[in-house]
Amino acid sequence: MKRPLLFVYGTLRPGFDGPMVHWLADRAEWIGAGWIGGKLYQVADYPGFVPGEAGRVYGDLFALPEAEALLARLDAYEECTPDDPLPNEYRREHCIVETADGPVTAWVYLYALSVTGHRVIASGDYLAAR
């Protein structure tokens, strides 16, 4: 059985220095780089991804060995659990991610609020834009 995949594009990417990066790296297997169609916005001190045909957003893929528990903790980090007040800033969905070995389906946290007033990260790469 294949393990579920997670695509990260911001504060969970290797190379970002934050406690959740280390938490994820200790519990999931880094698979490699990838990209997804859409735009990346600077929301605050973190980015938000909005899917679409225009643009590319770059990030990293992880295989999740204990997906249910890991995703529950990540949902809490992204404040999109059923217990979090609405409207949620993010929602988790399956999306197609392009990799060097072809497309894969992975969980992705999508920005769920209006992007009006937020700057587009033109490169699509949050780490390079910092």
pLDDT in tens, 46-104: 999 999 989 999 999 999 999 999 999 999 999 999 999 999 999 999 999 999 999 99
Residue 1 has pLDDT above 60, yes or no: no
pLDDT value of residue 22: 94
> Half-sphere exposure of 73 toward its Cβ, with a 13 Å CA cutoff?
12
Domains of the chain with bracketed CATH:
5-129 (3.10.490.10)
What are 11-47's pLDDT values in tens digits? 999 999 989 999 999 999 999 999 999 999 999 999 9
- What is the per-residue DSSP string for 24-91? HHHHSEEEEEEEEEEEEEE-SSSEEEEEEEEEEEEEEEEE-TTHHHHHHHHHHHTT-STTSPSSPSEE
